[in-house]
Structure formats: C-alpha cells, structure tokens
Chains A and B, each alone.
Chain A
Amino acid sequence: MDGIKRNLLYWGYTIGLMLSMILAMVLGICIVTGLDESGNILLAFCATMDEFGGMYMPFFMGMLGMVTINNYLPFTLTMGSTRRDSFIGMEIMLHLEGMLLIGIIIAAGIFSGRTANGMFFFGRVLLLVASAALCNLSGWAYLQFGKVVSLILFLVLTITGALGVSVFAAMHEAGKWSLPQWGRLVLVAAAVAADGIMIYLYAGKVKNLEVRV
C-alpha cells in the first residue's frame, strides 16, 4: 500500500470518528432537549442541523485544524509516514468529510422545508469552502504562532464570520439586500482562493514539522 493510501485510511477513520462525535452530540442535544413538538428525532435533528449547521461547520473544521496539527499529524510521522503523504491524505479527507457534513446540513435543510434555490446552495457551498480555509488557517496559525494565538484567531474569525453572515442573511430575508449572481461567484472564488493559499502556507510549515521530543 502506498503512502497516500495509508494516510487516506488513517485520516478517513480519524476525521470520520470526530465527525461522528459531532453528529452524535447534536443527536444527543435533540434527545436531551425533548425533541421537537412532534416528538420525531429525525425532524428535530434536521431542524437543529439546519438552524445551527452554520455554526457547527466552522467550529468543527477550525477545531479540527488545531487538533490535527497538535496530535494526529505528528502521530502519523511517528508511524513512519512522510510529511508529504500525511498532509495530502489529511487535506483530501478534511475536504471530503467537510463535504459529507455540508451534505448532511443541505439534506437537513431540505427535509426541514427550506426552498432549495440558488441562494440556499450558495450559502452552504460558501460555508464549506470558508470552513475548510478556516481549518487550514487554524493549523497554520498553530504552527506559526502557537496554541493561544491560533485559538484566539479561530474564535475571532468564527464569531465575526457568523455574525456577519447572520446580519446579511437577515437583511436578505427582509428584502433589504440582495446578492447578485456575480457577487456570489466572487465570494465562492475568494473562499476557494483563501483555502488554496492557506493550504500552500500550511504545507510550507508542515514540510519541516518536528515531533516534539
């Protein structure tokens, strides 16, 4: 088995385990808070994922960025992986499992009765790409500035991002503001570029990563 395949297996399992913990947590919240009025767990789960998915996603991805670089990526090096293979495997699985989570959020939205129009999909695609960029930024910042600064940066970006999105979404729903088609494309392209830049910077840092003695 080649190096990247080994890492795809490892990262698929490790990130999948963390993702399943997040989903189990949401399910647990639904059960503990007494489901919704209908008493249907699936409906309650979908409603929660639809309403708070925009918060779970960046939170999950940002934390993942810090946890992976502190623990899991060095662990793969102690198991004999190269930095390159581990980083590639990690990035592929981060994005794939991010897509899985956004897929669940989209399905939850549709199941909860949202209209699956362009704006609906745009918001969720932007959320995915921005969260992936945040994940890479968190990992990079962890290596560049250390634990405390990366945590502060992550919190500031997540909170301001969530507030900004909430304000614009409210304005959009009230009909006070509308984002044209080209504007959506620019935003998604900017997020993709940010993700790409962060991957590049992060890879540069990982290239000589030390497993602490």
Chain B
Amino acid sequence: MTDEKLVCSNITKTYGKKEVLKNINLELEKGKIYGLIGRNGAGKTTLLSILSAQNPASSGTVMLGTEPVWENRKALDHICFSREISALGANGQGNGYKVKDYLRAAAWYLPNWDKEMADRLIKEFDLDVKKRVIKLSKGMLSMLTIVIALASKADYTFLDEPVAGLDVVMREYFYRTLVEEFTESGRTFIVSTHIIEEASDVLEEVIMLDKGQIILKEDTQALLDRAVHVSGKEDVVAAATKGLHCLHEEKIGRSKGVTVLLHEGEHIQGNAELSVQPVNLQQVFVALCKE
C-alpha cells in the first residue's frame, strides 16, 4: 500500500479544437472519499481516465509520489478506474465477454484483487456470472463496475457514475459497502456522480468541475457550513448580502433569494424580515454552475 499523493499538474486535454480540460491542478490525498461533481460534458470521465493513464493528457503530468503514472506499471498497480460499462460493448469493453471473463481479466491484471470480496459482492448483487455483458441491464452493468472497483483493492480507486441504473436499495447497499471498505482499508476513492444529495453524506471532500475547470475543491462539511440561502424582501436581502460572494439569485415578485458562500469572518444573522437557511450540496452545485 502506498501513502503517496496522486498529483496532477497543469493538465489540459483537447479533442480537435475543443478543450475538454483546462489547466487542471489537483492533489489527491491517501485515505479520503472524494466526490467528483460536474454537469454532463464537464470533463469528469476524461479527468479520471487521464489520472489512471487510460488516456493521454494533451499537456501536463500526473504523478504518484515521485513516479509518473503514464505507462508506468509500478504506479498503475496502485490505481483502478472502473469505467462505466456500456451494454453496446463499446471500445475497451471486450465485446462478447461474459461477466466471468471480466472477473477473470480483473484477477489477472489487478495485483491486489480480492476474489473473496468479488464473490461476496456478486452474490449480494445476485449477478449471473455466465451472462454476457451485452445482455446485462443498466443496473447490472453498474454492479459489475462496482465489483471490479471494490475488489481491486487499489489504493486509488475511481468510480464513474457507479450508481447509474441501480435501484434505491442497491444504491444504499453500495454506499454502505463503500464506507465499510474505506474504514477498513483506508483506500482513496473518487466517486463521480449526478445523484449528489444521496452521496453527500459519504463524500469527505468535493471536487466540482465545470466546463473543463475545477471550480471548487473543499471539505464537504466545511462547504456546507459556509453556504447559506438568504431570502426576504429584495432591499433587505440586498443590504444583508452586500459585498458577499453571491452564487445565485432568484426573484419572486418583490422577494428575493440568494445563495451565498461565506468566507472566513463573514456572517449573516437572520431576523423576522430575513430568512437564512442552510443549503445542501446539490443546491451549492447548482448555484455554482449558474454563477
């Protein structure tokens, strides 16, 4: 197990003329669950694929401690990016594979593969290992992605939309298992998801990505502690939020609501004319993206 940080410096990625990632600098510490949040096309999967050397960056470097990750087995042995699998058997997904072929390949390639854990998860998810991947439902594909990610026992494990297609019971089971595994092993997980509220309880730190740039990286609780929604009469709200970092405003008649991100030392006191309410992670994200 490595205690090294995974650091990416000045990463850019362009496809033709389109710049998908713009000068990304990111430092991931050992033993944390990160949430990677962003809108469709924000560059989440691209970033994860570059961090795991599945795709080359157009410029910049990714290092695990002193080792470059690109084409370096020594570093890659500590990283697992379990990609979202498509039933259409797209590029990189072993057309015609059965579930057991996937698991067999994972056991060959992933040096810390935990077969016992994989078997237990397969049983819990009730996955048929003899079934062809192209015949799996969206939820089952997600289950397979989760099995590979968790049983990989990789120090840095990335999950791309792991709960897509899972029912609420299985989503809860996944988050519970993730936290258990995290507590036992101290591995680092990066979970990219659109179902933000459900995941927010398990995410220690959030990384928000918008239009190829990191717009925020912060401890989840610290972020929620300083994000508030202020509402009341327009002039009262305007006066209370003057000089503060307002993320998003909405007006209803003569009333106004503002999502504010407070900085150190800043404070808004609610009163009869001014309502100050906490906001959840999803609201912060929406407000930031609309900023």
Which residues on A are within 8 Å of B, measured CB to CB?
Answer: 1-3, 6, 9-10, 13-14, 67, 70-72, 74-85, 208, 210-213
The complex places the Cα of A74 from the Cα of B49 at a distance, in Å, of: 12
Inter-chain contact B91/A76, CB cutoff 8 Å: no
Inter-chain contact B52/A80, CB cutoff 8 Å: yes
Inter-chain contact A78/B92, CB cutoff 8 Å: yes
Interface size of B by CB at 8 A reads 32
Inter-chain contact A75/B108, CB cutoff 8 Å: no
Given contacts A80-B52, A213-B46, contact A71 B105 (CB under 8 A): no
- A73 to chain B: closest CB distance in Å? 8
Inter-chain contact B108/A6, CB cutoff 8 Å: yes
The complex places the Cα of A14 from the Cα of B96 at a distance, in Å, of: 11
The complex places the Cα of A3 from the Cα of B110 at a distance, in Å, of: 10
Partner of A71, one of B83, B89, B109: B89
B contact face: mostly helix, strand, loop, or mixed: loop
Contact count A vs B, C-beta below 8 Å: 79
Q: Which residues of A lie under 8 Å from residue B73 when comparing CB positions?
A: 2-3, 81-82, 85
Residue in A13, A75, A76, A212 whose Cβ sees the most chain B Cβ within 10 Å? A75
- B150 to chain A: closest CB distance in Å? 15
Given contacts A85-B73, A210-B55, contact A75 B110 (CB under 8 A): no
Residue in B79, B105, B109 whose Cβ sees the most chain A Cβ within 10 Å? B109
Given contacts A71-B89, A82-B76, contact A76 B54 (CB under 8 A): no
Q: Which residues of B lie under 8 Å from residue A79 when comparing CB positions?
A: 105-106, 108-110
Inter-chain contact B55/A213, CB cutoff 8 Å: yes
Q: Which residues of A lie under 8 Å from residue B270 when comparing CB positions?
A: none
Q: A78-B83, A82-B76, A211-B91 are in contact. List 6 more A-B contacts (CB 8 A).
A: A70-B91, A71-B94, A78-B93, A82-B71, A82-B72, A82-B73
Residue of A at shortest CB range from B96? Answer: A71
Q: Which residues of A lie under 8 Å from residue B99 when comparing CB positions?
A: none
The complex places the Cα of A109 from the Cα of B137 at a distance, in Å, of: 47
Closest 4 CB pairs of A and B: A74-B92, A79-B109, A212-B91, A211-B92
Residue of B at shortest CB range from A80? Answer: B76
The complex places the Cα of A85 from the Cα of B81 at a distance, in Å, of: 18
Inter-chain contact B90/A212, CB cutoff 8 Å: yes
The complex places the Cα of A82 from the Cα of B95 at a distance, in Å, of: 20
Partner of A1, one of B54, B95, B105, B111: B111
Q: Which residues of A lie under 8 Å from residue B154 when comparing CB positions?
A: 80
- A155 to chain B: closest CB distance in Å? 20
Q: Which residues of A lie under 8 Å from residue B94 when comparing CB positions?
A: 14, 71-72, 75
Inter-chain contact A211/B109, CB cutoff 8 Å: no
9 contacts between A and B (CB under 8 A): A3-B73, A70-B95, A74-B93, A75-B94, A75-B105, A82-B71, A83-B71, A208-B56, A211-B83
Given contacts A82-B76, A213-B55, contact A74 B91 (CB under 8 A): yes
Q: Which residues of B lie under 8 Å from residue A212 when comparing CB positions?
A: 90-92
- A125 to chain B: closest CB distance in Å? 31
Inter-chain contact A75/B92, CB cutoff 8 Å: yes
The complex places the Cα of A85 from the Cα of B71 at a distance, in Å, of: 9
Inter-chain contact A71/B108, CB cutoff 8 Å: no
The complex places the Cα of A195 from the Cα of B124 at a distance, in Å, of: 49
- B188 to chain A: closest CB distance in Å? 15
- B289 to chain A: closest CB distance in Å? 21
